[in-house]
Structure 1
């Protein structure tokens, strides 16, 4: 007998991104190719009776979710290769299979951080060799588990719009104060993109009102967190767009002609501290 999942709408977004990565893995030309996500989604559907079809995922969300995950994976792999004793901190990790995709070298410590009930799901469905931190990422207490003397790469995939007020910048400031050096990588929603996201059919189906974002990629340099912009990737211009299905591929290439419009879509921002 299936046991239904009991997740509030914010936590339920982890199933939205999981489903997007699973659907991408089954595409004729996958962007991310995350077969592990498909396996986890299948197990959840079987165990809980969860109907992923209700999320109403469109090709644009599937491809953008897969592409931003791929680009963030690249940041983690490069950092881990350059810093053999590094720390990886995945903020709001949900049920992302990033550790399995990146397979960091021995000596790299990986911390997956999310709400306690989400971490319980990870224990059940993702037996990765990571440190599981059951905490609200905006609360300061959990940072004490992180080593203070090793470089770190911080990843925030899809987290920014769902945190209230200035809690994201406060969290980043606390992290950079504790850690000696490293990088922060996130998909950087503009204010308009964060506002518009709540009208996307998949997000609307969960009843979520996303809100937080920033327009200028250099704005975080003024958060008193010691951040310096290292890279802005406009994903409309990524070579992987060639694998998008039509007519999405043609539309994406049209948007790519405008930097302003491209920033309203998907972008990956990387900062050094």
Structure 2
């Protein structure tokens, strides 16, 4: 497997999750992130494996502050998911540009529908390493190719929670505006949760 074809950002996020989850005193419980990273390591080439190990050591050491900041963001998103589900128990949660996120297993809710979307190479690898655990729908494609909206709304377009964690800052303004407009026009009684980064 050549990890150069997979979003390195997605892998870095997974490493942060796994590092924090492995700490004895951490209140962030994510055993699936640990498993996902272990399996990713098992299929990685020698060079890619060494890259993962270097990044893992960094987040365990001098990069610990960065990792904790990311985990705080994860918890904010998880809390938003729990609140939305409490108010809309039969909702659909869509994780846009999901990467190797393991939120599906963290929230552990069987009443909702859960969907993940990311580039084909990311989805293919996630299926490969977690095939015996995937119990939800995954869609291969770009977030900006809004044909995914047709797929997720074929049975209705209400009570959706769309998660865009660490996503919109990568888009040119015109693409972000177009996606906002499309989501706003095609989903009803729904919410979009996202984070933003200051230009400074």
What is the TM-score when the length of structure 2 is the normalising length? 0.86
Contact preservation (8 Å) 1:32, 1:67? no
- Please give the alpha-carbon distance, in whole angstroms, between the structure 2 residues aligned to 1:28 and 1:35: 12
From 136, 141, 160, give the equivalent of 2:168: 160
Q: Deviations over 1:107-163 (max 9, x none)?
A: x21110110111111212233222111111011222101223321111111112222
Distance (whole Å) between structure 2 residues aligned to residue 168 and residue 124 of structure 1: 31
CA contact (8 A) 1:86 1:109 kept: yes
| Count of aligned pairs between the two proteins | 187
Q: Distance in 2 between matches of 1:191 and 1:31?
A: 32
Q: CA RMSD in A?
A: 1.7
CA deviations 1:55-85 (Å, max 9, x no partner) are 3430112111111111101111111121122
Mean CA deviation greater in 73-82 or 167-176: 167-176
CA-to-partner distance for each residue in 1:241-270, whole Å, 9 max, x for gaps? xxxxxxxxxxxxxxxxxxxxxxxxxxxxxx
Q: CA deviation at 1:5?
A: 2.6
Between the aligned partners of 1:190 and 1:4, the Cα distance in structure 2 is 33
Q: If the length of structure 1 is used for normalisation, what is the TM-score? A: 0.64
Corresponding residue of 2:123: 119
**Hey, what's the Cα distance between the residues in 1 that align with 2:34 and 2:180?**
31
- Tell me, yes or no, if structure 1 residue 189 matches structure 2 residue 185: no
Query: CA contact under 8 A between 1:22 and 1:34: conserved in structure 2?
Result: yes
CA contact (8 A) 1:77 1:104 kept: no
* Distance across 2 between alignment mates of 1:168 and 1:74: 24
Q: Is the 8 A contact 1:32 1:69 kept in 2?
A: no
Q: Given the alignment of the two structures, is residue 42 of structure 1 paired with residue 46 of structure 2, yes or no?
A: no
Which has the larger Rg? 1
Distance 1:180 1:118 in 2: 29
How is 1:133-148 mapped onto 2 (pairs within 5 angstroms)?
133-147=139-153, 148=156
2:24 corresponds to 1:28: yes
Q: Which runs of 5+ in 2 are unaligned?
A: none
The counterpart of 2:114, out of the listed 81, 103, 110, is 110
Q: Deviations over 1:37-62 (max 9, x none)?
A: 11111111122142313334301121
Q: 2: CA distance between counterparts of 1:137 and 1:149?
A: 17
Q: 1:28 to 1:169 in 2, by over 3 A?
A: farther
SS at match of 2:3: coil
Contact 2:169 2:196 in 1 (8 A): no
More helix by share: 2
2: CA distance, partners of 1:191 / 1:104: 37
- 3-state SS of the aligned residue for 1:110? strand
Question: What do the CA deviations read for 1:7-31 (whole angstroms, capped 9, x no partner)?
Answer: 25xx111100000000001223224
